[in-house]
Structure 1
Amino acid sequence: MTTTPEVYSCDIQVRWGDSDRLGHVNNARVVEYMQEARSLFLTEGATSAGVTPRAVVVRKMDAEFLRPITDASGPVRVDVSVVRVGTSSFTLRHVVKDTAGNVCATGDAVLVSFDVRTETSRPLSDGERGILERYLPVTAPA
């Protein structure tokens, strides 16, 4: 049995310049919405836990665009949850929904904790791990 994890949610305003000639939000902008939500998730999570935010870099990101977002679709809601936590990396899932609650896009990002001095990966701190694990599904033993 898997318990339902916490999900971080935030609203992102659809800006006038985000749309293309067809009136749809450009896919690159949708990825930016995910980035903005991810940044808020990491910053607010660290602040709420009394942890100083530390550097992370995106190693890989996959996005799937399921339905168009238009000016009238916003603000969009972006849900962020944790899929996996490793030694120095973690995976976040982003779900972008329009004002009607329709899922418009999803994306997974693999992030690596980063030491800016040495420009190499570093292990996640206990504080970072604690924040991420609040949003990670837990599978109970059978």
Structure 2
Amino acid sequence: MGAFVAEVALRWSDMDAFGHVNHARTVTLLEEARAELLFGEAGRQGLLGMAEGMVVARVAIDYHAPLVYSAGSLRVGLSVRELKAASFLVDYSAYAHDSVLVASAETLMVPYDLRAARPRRLTADERAFLAEWQVEAEDRRA
């Protein structure tokens, strides 16, 4: 399977004083795309556990071009790599409405048991779901 693609609406409030989307807002837009995969798509497939506890351990972003606000959306391709027993990396390729790559990023995710207040291992079903979104390096761009 290829990368998961999410369309994330851009908001006027995402803009900064320089007329482009603020870097912190970009993190939020990527978070919304990730939530669509890990909570939305997983939920549609009957997998609800990820919505009960998943934390970001690390995020890294490379900005390639300014993202200027428009009434459109940001197209984000997401894929999974380094799927381990208790963590995985989500890769992002974010494109503006004119198909220009504006940012690429990765987020280290850790499943988390909120009641026990500690990290946990991925379940077999979670691993199978995440494995659906693993792609080869040359296929990461959506």
1:111 aligns with 2:109: yes
> Aligned partner of 1:60: which letter?
R
1:136–1:42: structure 2 CA closer, same or farther, 3 Å change rule?
A: same
Hey, what does 2:140 align to over in structure 1?
none
Q: How far 1:18 moved relative to its partner? A: 0.8
Separation in 2, partners of 1:84, 1:10: 21
TM-score, normalised relative to structure 1: 0.88
Q: Does 1:37 align with 2:33?
A: yes
Aligned length: 135
CA distance in 2, matches of 1:6, 1:17: 32
TM alignment of 1:76-87, pairs within 5 A: 76-87=74-85
Indicate whether 1:20 and 2:16 are aligned. Answer: yes
Counting aligned pairs with the same residue, the percent is: 27
CA distance in 1, matches of 2:22, 2:91: 20
- Indicate the larger mover: 96-105 or 38-47: 38-47
Q: Who is 1:60 aligned against?
A: 58
TM-score (norm 2): 0.88
Following TM superposition, by how much is the alpha carbon of 1:137 offset from its aligned partner in structure 2, in angstroms? 2.9
* Gapped regions of structure 1 (runs ≥ 5): none
SS of residue in 1 equivalent to 2:116: coil
Partner of 1:100: 98
Q: Find the aligned partners of 1:63 and 1:135 in 2 and give their Cα distance.
A: 20
Determine the structure 2 residue equivalent to 1:126: 124
Distance 1:137 1:59 in 2: 22
Displacement after TM superposition at 1:73 (Å): 7.7
Cα RMSD for the two superposed structures = 1.7
Aligned partners of 2:117 and 2:4: how far apart in 1? 29
The alignment partner of 1:76 has SS state of strand
| Gap change, CA 1:15 and 1:73, over 3 Å in 2 | closer
